[in-house]
Every structure is written in structure tokens, then in C-alpha cells.
């Protein structure tokens, strides 16, 4: 049997921002680091095209990034499903400004099937992966994403990985981290606040 164990990350915090166009305060549920890590120079291969993809959003948009794997029985599909539902609850114009990428931490098994897996959740989802262990580690480090893949004595593959979901802006800044278990409406609200910030 194949299984995985989640690795805990730092606890989330609540950040308060001025709401666009008013005096009310908009509260972010996700965790923000100060200063925000810059991941704009990091690239990983798009599994479908082979092109190197920079881990930053297009202008005026956001990029949600998740480090996981296709054989994950629980955390990965739950996170992808929750994000999909959050985007569906947003106005279509706003949802279209959020791209989603999944980076596999299990490339030996995932490179051929990750695009189909991601596409099952997001029509335009981006499947990223590399068998270059150093490149993957370099990409994961500034996010604080951790993972470990090994084969046990019975020949079964065991995968442990952190379960956070990340948001990168169009400057390549890691602007928000959600821990596993965040509510769908909290995902939606945070994304709307961040998108509103572009026009503030």
C-alpha cells in the first residue's frame, strides 16, 4: 500500500489590509511573510510543453502553486477541489485572473500523468515537474515546501510532503500561504482581496 504523511508548517496568521475604495478593513486569512520571498527567478519545466515556466503570475493576476503528487489519497485532491470551488464562487472575470500550477514532488511516477491529473481540476491548470532533484529542491525552498520520497523494506513508495497552498503575484513575490484545512470561502475572500490590491 502506498501512503504519505503530512509535514507541518508554521502556523497561519491573520493579516489586515485596507479595503480597496473604502475605510473598511479587509482581513486575509492566509499567512504572509515579511518580507515576502522573491521566487521570480525560479523556473520549472511545463511537463506538457517542455518549456521553462517562471513561478510568477502574469501582469495583474495571481498564481496559486501547490507541491504534491498524483498518488496522494487525501490532502492533494482535497486542496485542489477546495481551490476549484473557491474559484467557482468568484466572479468569472476575477477567477480568470488566477492561474493554478501543481509541482510534483514524486516525478518518477508523475511526469506522464500529472497534466491529466491537474486538468481534471482546472482546465488551464499547469503541471510542473523535473527529475532534477537539485532544481526541485531549489524551487521548493523559498516556499518552505518540504517533501521526502523513499521506498520502504516492502518495496512500497512512501511520500511525505507539506500541505500548504501558496499564492505568487505578478512580481514573483510569495504573497500568501494557506495551511491545509482553510475554508473554501476564506480562499475565495483572500484571492478577491489580493486581486483588488492591484487596482488600489
Q: Which residues contact 129 (CB under 8 A, 6 or more apart)?
A: 44, 45, 47, 103, 104, 107, 110, 111, 114
Mind listing the pLDDT tens digit for each residue in 84-126?
A: 999 999 999 999 999 999 999 999 999 999 999 999 999 999 9
pLDDT at residue 12 in the model: 39
**3-state DSSP assignment of residue 116:** helix
Domains of the chain: 3-197 (3.40.30.10)
- Has residue 73 got a pLDDT over 60? yes
Please check if 72 is assigned to a binding site.
Answer: yes
CA–CA separation, 26 and 164 (whole Å): 22
**DSSP for 120-148, written as a single string:** TT-TT-EEE--S-HHHHHHHHGGGT--EE
Q: How far apart are CA 63 and CA 71, in angstroms?
A: 23
In the predicted model, what is the mean pLDDT of the chain? 88
The one-character DSSP state at 73 is S
Q: Has 71 been labeled as part of a binding site?
A: no
- 76 annotated ligand binder: yes
pLDDT in tens, 136-153: 999 999 999 999 999 888
Q: Structure pTM?
A: 0.86
Residue 111 near residue 129, CB atoms below 8 Å? yes
* pLDDT over 70 at 7, yes or no: no
- Residue 161, pLDDT > 50, answer yes
- Name the band, by pLDDT with cuts 50, 70 and 90, for residue 25: low
* Paired strand residues for 40: none
Amino acid at each position: 500500500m502506498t501512503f504519505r504523511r503530512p509535514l507541518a508548517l508554521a502556523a497561519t496568521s491573520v493579516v489586515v489590509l485596507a479595503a480597496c475604495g473604502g475605510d473598511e478593513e479587509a482581513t486575509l486569512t492566509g499567512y504572509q511573510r515579511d518580507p515576502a520571498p522573491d521566487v521570480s527567478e525560479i523556473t520549472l519545466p511545463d511537463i506538457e510543453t517542455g518549456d521553462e515556466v517562471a513561478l510568477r503570475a502574469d501582469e495583474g493576476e495571481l498564481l496559486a502553486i501547490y507541491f504534491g503528487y498524483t498518488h496522494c489519497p487525501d490532502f492533494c485532491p482535497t486542496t485542489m477541489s477546495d481551490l476549484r470551488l473557491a474559484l467557482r464562487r468568484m466572479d468569472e472575470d476575477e477567477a480568470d485572473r488566477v492561474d493554478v500550477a501543481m509541482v510534483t514532488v514524486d516525478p518518477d511516477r508523475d511526469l506522464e500523468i500529472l497534466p491529466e491529473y491537474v486538468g481534471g481540476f482546472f482546465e488551464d491548470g499547469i503541471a510542473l515537474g523535473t527529475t532534477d532533484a537539485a532544481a526541485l529542491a531549489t524551487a521548493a525552498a523559498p516556499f518552505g515546501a518540504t517533501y521526502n520520497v523513499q521506498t520502504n523494506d516492502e518495496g512500497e513508495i512512501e511520500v511525505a510532503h507539506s500541505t500548504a497552498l501558496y499564492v505568487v503575484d505578478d512580481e514573483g513575490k510569495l504573497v500568501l500561504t494557506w495551511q491545509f484545512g482553510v475554508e473554501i470561502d476564506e480562499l475565495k475572500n483572500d484571492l478577491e482581496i489580493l486581486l483588488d490590491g492591484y487596482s488600489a
